[in-house]
Structure 1
Amino acid sequence: MDIKWLEDFLSLAQTRNFSRAADDRHVTQSALSRRIRSLEAWVGADLVDRSTYPLVLTPAGKIFSASAEEAMRLLNDTRAQLRVRGPDENLLRISAGHTLSLNFFPMWLKSVRSQVGEIHASILPANVHDSVLSLVEGNCDLLLSYYHADLPVELDALRYEYVSLGTEVVLPVSVPSRKGTALYSLPGSKAKPIPRLNNIKASFFGRVVERVLARSDQPCYFVNAYESDMAELLKRMALEGHGLAWLPQSSIANELAEGKLVRAGGEQWAMEMDIRLYRAVDNKNPVLLKLWGALGGRQGE
């Protein structure tokens, strides 16, 4: 039995709606439904009456709900006590995407330490979905994430707050030609399509690139040359001259300065995003509150 199933079930019991519970749990409705079915199989009884709207708990569901609430209360209380008694009270657990973990976080942490003193940080690299879920489930103190109005991080503003730490630009790049211009330059043509080093569509940067292309009124012509969900791999392929890639500027700052990579299109082909740091309002970790105050964030009552 997965503890997430209990949290899913309690959310469903509270909202009485699969769609709202799925939003609350940051999963798709079909994934939530599968997990509730798995929990029912583990329990050995139907917990939810799906024949009514809004749905209701079955008699077994009502009994199990009370036990699940008590079990989660005990688990969360015990976890809180263990964390308070941990060997390193200055440790902050930060969940972040792989690119932010590699390129932004080290410099940011150095800057923070110069303001507030020694802070020990544990970085937890993950994809966007898992990073957000880590914050929601209390498995980290802070979420470091990109934000754009077209690709929002969906968190309840009453329960979570953020500070902006800077900006990031995702832009198309290529190795230079002998003339110093991009060897592969947008938009390409039917006769000579551009070899494209793709971000996987389901990834965050994949969705960024799809949004950039969708908002342009100029068609592009590509032939798919490579695909990955890791920006560092796409960067390596671009440096080897295999094609054009959209990459975060922070990850290629040195290569752009040295001329190893050059922009492969104008501003219309780039997207600027915020870099945000999120925290749960009810997290009273003293080190977190000290940091939050230094960053200019509102401190919870």
Structure 2
Amino acid sequence: MDSAWLMDFVELAKSGNFSRAAEIRNVTQPAFSRRIKMLEDWAGATLVDRGSHPVELTDAGRQFLDLAVEILERLNKARQLAQEAEQSSKATLRFATTQVLSLSFFPKWLRTIASKFKIDGVHLISGGLEPCEYDMLQGKAQFLLCHHYDGMAFRLPPDEFTWISILPDRLMPVVAADADRKPLYHLDEGNAEALPLLAYEKQTGLGRIFGTVFDMEQLKPKLVPVATSHLALLLGLALEGRGIAWVPASVVRAELARRSLVEAGGPQWSIPMEIRLFRPRERLSPASETFWSYVTPIEPDENWP
């Protein structure tokens, strides 16, 4: 059954005339008459009394009319809701963000851009770098915000994705301070043969960056992993004095100022990296393209370490 047949039938009931109804429906009268007959065949009942002038509905037709009107109203409502959902989806910005940036950086950064133009909606996927990469590859996210280091393993092909550098950062070794506010462990102490390491999983973003720069087998002093987890737990363990953790400088700014954490080595132990925003090279929705046009690098200062 074609919904056009229902619209034909409702129009015929209004006009009471096949010729006039066919004209309004923009079809020839023979075609219009055939569609009314096909509707009656589908319904299994005669809906129109063709012997009356003007045309009248049969008892079955009058009962069918109320339901036909209701069905058409529901179809129109369903189409309207689908179109609204489509427009809402196109206007919503979809981000994939690593966990550390979703808490420490993303909210403030997004507010600075939202102050320049109206953002209708945001959908944020937060997790490890690997699932964020897959969300981008599968089109579930339009943008990926993450830490990046040139040379690290990365799954977004450069011929399909482009990026902008948002803010420089560094992965730095930190450790709890002793009573004299000196590092509990220090990477530059010549007499240390082995030091406890609070390590990332190798396939996490920060774990990939660390593994790209440092060869654990060749490091002196030797670093012995005592825990392997995500940043939040490693940071907590570092504050308890359990070992040395490499963390983004942007995350531990307050702890360094209070000296609840201190650097565990000289500048040669820090890894320069940056926060990048990735997107597909293909054209995105108008809202996404407008957002991208407002994304610019941030100059580090007291507000953006």
Do they fold alike, i.e. is TM over 0.5? Answer: yes
Tell me how far apart the structure 2 counterparts of residues 85 and 239 of structure 1 sit (CA, whole Å): 47
> Match of 1:276, as an amino acid?
R
Give secondary structure in 2 for the equivalent of 1:106: helix
* Equivalent residues of 2:188, 2:266 under 8 A apart: no
Q: Which residue of 2 aligns with 1:260?
A: 260
Give, as a single letter, the amino acid of the residue that structure 2 aligns with 1:136. Answer: L
Task: Tell me the SS of whatever aligns to 1:250.
Answer: coil
Cα offsets for 1:46-102 (capped at 9, x unmatched): xxxxxxxxxxxxxxxxxxxxxxxxxxxxxxxxxxx8796254653211001111112
**What is residue 62 of structure 1 aligned with on the other side?**
none
Higher alpha-carbon deviation: 249-258 or 114-123? 114-123
Match of 1:141 in 2: 142
Q: What's the CA shift for 1:241?
A: 1.4
Contact 1:167 1:274 in 2 (8 A): yes
**1:174 aligns to what?**
175
Judged with a 3 Å threshold, the aligned counterparts in structure 2 of structure 1 residues 278 and 113 are, in CA distance, closer, same or farther, namely same
Partner of 2:103: 102
| Cα distance change on mapping 1:218 and 1:196 into 2, 3 Å | closer
- TM superposition shift of 1:285: 0.9
- SS, match of residue 256 in structure 1: helix
Name the counterpart of 1:165: 166
Deviation string, structure 1 residues 88-143 (Cα, Å, up to 9, x no partner): 65321100111111211111111111122334222101222221121121111111
CA contact (8 A) 2:153 2:208 kept: no
Q: Measure, in 1, the Cα distance between the counterparts of 2:134 and 2:246.
A: 26
d(CA) in 1 for partners of 2:147 and 2:208?
Answer: 12
Given that 1:194 and 1:221 are in contact with CA atoms closer than 8 Å, whether structure 2 keeps it comes out as yes
CA deviations on 1:129-175 (whole Å, 9 max, x unpaired) are 22112112111111112221121534333432211111221110011
CA distance in 1, matches of 2:97, 2:257: 26
TM-score, with length taken from structure 1: 0.64
RMSD value over aligned CA atoms? Answer: 2.7
Whether contact under 8 Å (1:187, 1:221) holds in the other structure is no
SS in 2 for 1:182: coil
How many Å apart are 1:188 and its aligned residue? 5.2
Q: CA deviation at 1:190?
A: 6.7
Q: Distance in 1 between matches of 2:190 and 2:222?
A: 5
Q: Counterparts of 2:169 and 2:109 in 1: how far apart (Å)?
A: 14
Take 1:191 and 1:153, find their aligned partners in 2: how far apart are those partners? 34
State the partner residue of 2:292: 292
- 1:173 and 1:97, CA in 2 relative to 1: closer, same or farther beyond 3 A? same
Segments of structure 1 that go 5 or more residues without pairing to the other structure are: 1-80
Greater alpha carbon shift after TM alignment, 82-91 vs 238-247: 82-91
- Alpha-carbon distance change, 223 to 278 in structure 1, aligned in 2, over 3 angstroms: closer
CA contact (8 A) 2:202 2:208 kept: yes
Could you list the per-position Cα deviations for residues 248-296 of structure 1 after superposition, in whole angstroms to 9, with x for gaps in the alignment?
1122111111111010011111111121111113243111111111225
Conserved? CA contact 1:189–1:221, under 8 Å: no
Please say if residues 130 and 204 of structure 2, whose CA atoms lie closer than 8 Å, have aligned partners that are also in contact: no
AA paired with 1:153?
A: F
Q: Tell me, in whole angstroms, the C-alpha distance in 2 between the residues paired with 1:157 and 1:210.
A: 21
After superposition, residues 41-56 of structure 1 pair within 5 angstroms as none
Task: State the AA in 1 paired with 2:146.
Answer: S
- The 3 A distance-change label for structure 1 pair 268 and 260 is same
Map residues 1-301 of structure 1 onto 2, 5 A cutoff: 85-87=86-88, 89-187=90-188, 193-214=194-215, 219-228=220-229, 230-295=230-295
TM-score (norm. length: structure 2):
0.64
Q: Secondary structure at the match of 1:245?
A: strand
